Structure 1
């Protein structure tokens, strides 16, 4: 077992190009039950400062290789039970590095459903197949085949006997591991995916694929998923075309012998063609289509994950009372006012949009909300009727002279409300706001996601947030796992105030599951605020391991111990005491400019040996002490607010605008420029230099300068560029 683990660790180290000692340490820590955020943050000396991405890669490869080893054992057992396991086959299975290689080796021994070859074997034609494969000089197939004619076995003529024998040979050719591996590689390198419309006259979003072709090795992931969806919806026919001449040539060279009689050679040439067309080509096409789809799905999940992380880490807008507006037509615009902590103050409904169009009445109601609650910001969801609602809000702000409820400047912003309806209908929302209807809860969510995007968005199923591409076309289990890891990473990167966090937020903290999260909140409700981190040990079912994993990510601002508001783990508090003693500092100075300046002068390389701690951990401690209570999101640019509405009709080519990136996909980025629909910056317009992928240039949440390229008012489409026109 130890030897196998060492072998797997060496393999992972080679694949990921990491030192073996780092991989060994990471595997050991993972097997001890440590979480990835905890290892990345608090075990840097052990792993040589591997980051979360590297640790997750190690974890995934380890799981894959464990599954690979398990499958090897299973295949060896199954073949051995048939009495067909040779030393060479056992060795080949043991050396296989991919599941596909193992399945190729197992294929000849797998129990199949009824095939033409299996029927021929039942009729006793296997010896004839072996005779043909001997390819003797002067062999006369019809004469030999006459010996196998047996009406009782279903062989009525020599020709039927020969056909049955050829069916056996064809299946053997198709099941040969080396043949399949070579044909698969050749098809991957030289194959072309072709698509056509089932009805060329029908209009659909797949018209670009009505007569389309592209080499397999150049087909980008987003096109793979689009083609798959078009095929699934019955709009497209899809086929893989592979030039077969070289395949036939190779199969003949590896199958035919010079000694073969002309009659046998002719039969085997036809058999090779049948084996490829009937058995190998369809199977390889399915495998390559599946391979393309798997790669495309992984790519799409990666795009979604990166976008989601950037969205979750958008800077919070603190210190302002907010009015959330969930726009609608017939049912009216739902309003929700929240204070600067997100506490719900009041809900209501107004009807400024058609068909009611009670504009003046709506103005009076909204002005009342603004003045009663000191509202500084109005947040409008981008759903149905958002354009009309935005016009109403902009007019109201102008009529107020831009004055907010607190005496400052009143502004508004349009936010992506994706997932708000999912949250508002959830059990969590029902528990949080039992007296509100679904639309009112949605308005609360819209308001809060500006104040603290992370705390609000964790309440929503990640795939419903809508910052990806083709997320509904990928494996949902894999998507959920990946997005869950992203949310976990973001939550632990920021840290959580244990005295204000919801169960939804706490459940993503390392070492805490949904049950523990509820227990923490229940303990807090029953006993009041946590005064220090050690009190968490009294929460039911929060054991020593969970405490170790979570406690560094839980913050207690204003608690008994000033260190409890920092990311410093309690296991390092004694180090801080020694550090302060060494530098003659007092803990009461935490947060002061004097202390920050003294710590900035400290040399971690020199201090670490004196304190008996590793340099990476000391570096983190010093950084946390210099900036206690730091929220890493606050270093990012704030969102762009508006005071007046911009319509698509106002846009002209060349106009310069400020916008916020809302989504990044393979072929470009969608940018919010203040109109209902986001504008598209195509990948070719992101930079004056070559761009391999849009994520190399922009991320969700970035504030960017763009220029209008073209405007299609009828289709509500705007083309933008980030390349300065001059």
Structure 2
């Protein structure tokens, strides 16, 4: 483990002691959110991103070690493990090198080279690649009728087969070709015979691009097109690399049988080497592109979960549709279902009168404050209907468009059935759309993260890796925000540090049987939740108006003593944290934390963190973010004109730009070249849910495309 820690520290350019502490905590089973927030003094304040990098590097190191052990065992069982080979495998720094070293020993079908060796031609192959003098007499000795070698050329052919295989297995040759193909190679795509009815891949019918310059979304599109048999792909080098490959292993022109070596290497390159390396490079660039796609998805998901909750409002959710109508559900301030129905204001029925009567009556009777409209099929027509209704009846409500991604998954899930056993899937979908306004995180957490469409090509990537990454992102967000221990659902609680699905369910059961928790310590009374789980979970679980005021803050119980001493020195008690917030915060600002820490013998890092938590008791970080845009009117693409300036909400961020809802049916695209400066990664500029100001650059009603420019005074989150 010492060697692993050193390697990780060097690769991430971090002090070894910080990495060692982080690895120790991770090996103890501590979660990254817990370590990042409550073990800063031990890790030297490593942040969550650094801890993830360490965790990933540790996982890779373990996988590498395990693979080395497996390869060594297999080769030893074959009786072919030499001390030199063993040392080379043990010294390998990555999985690719281990696989290269293992390649000659893999079980495979009998090759042409194997058959040549069985005929005793290995010495001839060795002679051809080393001799500086021609010796036809020596070669003739390999003509052997018993082995069915009747002529010299047949002996040479067999020797060339051996040389071709050896050439293709040379580690230096493979590594050089692999690197050159990836760094200087080109990917070429062409249209196959299969028809592309919607011309989805039109841009790639005759496409050529250096591999090093390919964007992740291009790679994903190319491989999807190939998988659908619409595109044919080939990786190529723009120069002849064979001479340098031969030269690198000593197959030089001064050798007597250089022509034989040229022929053997040419055969190897086309038949064995290039096909193998092309597969490897294809896998490498696909994995890198998938990694990027997963990263984009995770970042977008994070910002979606961090959408500010609009709180305790009576909300009408509308799940739009055409033939089957629009499903309507009104939920109370507590999220309970108050009313549901189906209306038909959209084609083909266009029943405005009856639909409006139902909606207006529900709004007035139930005192609806906000309407939430799903952005799926029929959304535009439903928005027009709602906007008209608000104007004609002078209703004191506004509406907003929300993503309905995952609503259908939720509505048919076990979770939804348990929550609303007497409702059908369409009603549950409308309920979900409404609840996403009250508290997005609490609602989205009920849906498998991979079912929420805020990325690109999420169905094309490694699904287990996607789920792992997204679950980790959800865990991070839930712990960043924290939960109310007495109201959080089991779906939220299971993501809290130290808890799992069973512990979360037991907390909810304990709450139902014994009433609400009065303090954090009562978590230890929950079945199956011991001291280790309590240590990690307690700080992220809040109790407002309980028996211990500090339970309403992010301060961990292990630091309560420090918190009380800090508050006492400022002239306050814990109970005043919520009644005199501004006074407490101002007084704490005046404390010399370094001097205080030294005087009291406390760790200055811990003191600084505790003071920060005491200044913002019960803070939901989402409250500091910009609230979503609420509308009363609707635009159409025909209303747009070049140069018009509008406000919009970022719906999705991808590698080439960001899609923005500006209040028309079609989201507009801000290409990354229109973000005000040179941008490599749009995620560094914009995020899902962000409110931005844009200028309309282009409106193409035929292709339903809107080009936008990000204005310099756009807001940021």
**Partners of 1:201 and 1:339 in 2: CA distance:** 51
User: SS of 2:544's equivalent?
Assistant: coil
CA contact (8 A) 1:40 1:49 kept: yes
Give the structure 2 partner of residue 290 of structure 1.
283
Q: Distance in 2 between matches of 1:303 and 1:208?
A: 23
2:191 matched residue in structure 1: 197
Q: Which residue of 479, 501, 515 corresponds with 1:514? A: 501
Equivalent in the alignment of 2:170: 176
Give the Cα separation in 2 of the matches to 1:498 and 1:581: 27
1:219 pairs with 2:200: no
Contact 1:200 1:210 in 2 (8 A): no
Distance 1:202 1:400 in 2: 49
Q: 1:7 to 1:334 in 2, by over 3 A?
A: same
Query: 66-75 or 79-88: which moved more?
Result: 79-88
Shift of 1:258: 5.8
The 5 A counterparts of 1:307-706 are 307-401=300-394, 403-404=395-396, 410-591=397-578, 592=580, 593-687=582-676, 689-706=677-694
Show the counterpart of 1:407: none
Q: How many angstroms does 1:245 deviate by?
A: 2.3
- Using the TM superposition, name which of 630-639 and 69-78 deviates more: 69-78
Matches within 5 A, 1:2-401: 5-140=1-136, 144-199=138-193, 202-203=196-197, 204-252=199-247, 254-257=249-252, 260-261=255-256, 264-401=257-394
The answer to which of 194-203 and 627-636 deviates more is 194-203
How far apart are residue 200 of structure 1 and its match?
Answer: 8.7
Flag structure 1 segments of 5+ consecutive residues without an equivalent.
405-409
Cα deviation, residue 449, structure 1? 0.6
Determine if contact 2:192/2:232 at 8 Å carries over to the other structure: yes
Contact 2:566 2:611 in 1 (8 A): no
Deviating more after overlay: 199-208 vs 347-356: 199-208
**Which secondary structure does the structure 2 equivalent of 1:471 belong to?**
coil
Moved more, 315-324 or 430-439: 315-324
- C-alpha displacement of 1:438: 0.4
Seen in structure 2, the aligned counterparts of structure 1 residues 348 and 191 have a Cα distance that, compared at 3 Å, is: same
Q: Name the CA shift for 1:439/1:156 in 2 (closer, same or farther; >3 Å).
A: farther
Quick one: distance in 1 between partners of 2:271 and 2:378?
56
The question of whether the paired residues in 1 share the 8 Å contact of 2:300 and 2:687 is answered with yes
Distance 1:723 1:139 in 2: 78
Secondary structure of the corresponding residue to residue 379 of structure 1: strand
Moved more, 76-85 or 102-111: 76-85
Q: Deviations over 1:219-275 (max 9, x none)?
A: 1111111100000000001001114523324414634356633xx222221111111
Query: Equivalents in 1 of 2:500, 2:419: separation in Å?
Result: 19
Q: Decide whether the 8 Å contact of 2:362 with 2:368 is kept in 1.
A: yes
CA distance in 1, matches of 2:386, 2:414: 32
Contact 2:519 2:543 in 1 (8 A): yes
* 1:375 match: secondary structure: coil
Distance across 1 between alignment mates of 2:225 and 2:297: 21
Matched, 1:712 2:708: no
Separation of aligned partners in 1, 2:522 and 2:120:
78
Instruction: Count matched residues.
Output: 710
CA deviation profile, 1:186-243 (whole Å, cap 9, x unmatched): 2222211111111397552111111111111111111111100000000001001114
2:129 match: secondary structure: helix
Q: Secondary structure at the match of 1:37?
A: helix
Contact 1:579 1:611 in 2 (8 A): no
Report deviation, 1:91.
Answer: 2.6
Over aligned residues, Cα RMSD in angstroms? 1.8
Once residues 348 and 203 of structure 2 are traced to their aligned partners in structure 1, the CA distance between those partners, rounded to angstroms, is 39
Post-superposition Cα deviations, 1:133-188, rounded to whole Å, max 9, x if no partner, equal 33241322xx5454444455443443222211110111011101111111212222
Contact preservation (8 Å) 1:335, 1:443: yes
Q: TM-score, normalised by structure 1?
A: 0.95
Could you tell me the TM-score, scaled by structure 2's length?
0.96
Using the TM superposition, give the Cα deviation of residue 103 of structure 1 relative to its aligned residue in structure 2, in angstroms.
1.3
Q: 1:250 to 1:555 in 2, by over 3 A?
A: same
| Residues 667-719 of structure 1 deviation map (CA, whole Å, 9 limit, x = unaligned) | 000001011221101111111x2112111211111111111111122222211
Paired with 2:97 and 2:170, the residues of 1 have a C-alpha distance of: 11
Unaligned stretches of 5+ residues in structure 2: none
1:252–1:269 CA contact under 8 A, matched in 2: no
Q: 1:531, 1:559 within 8 Å by CA — same for their partners in 2?
A: yes
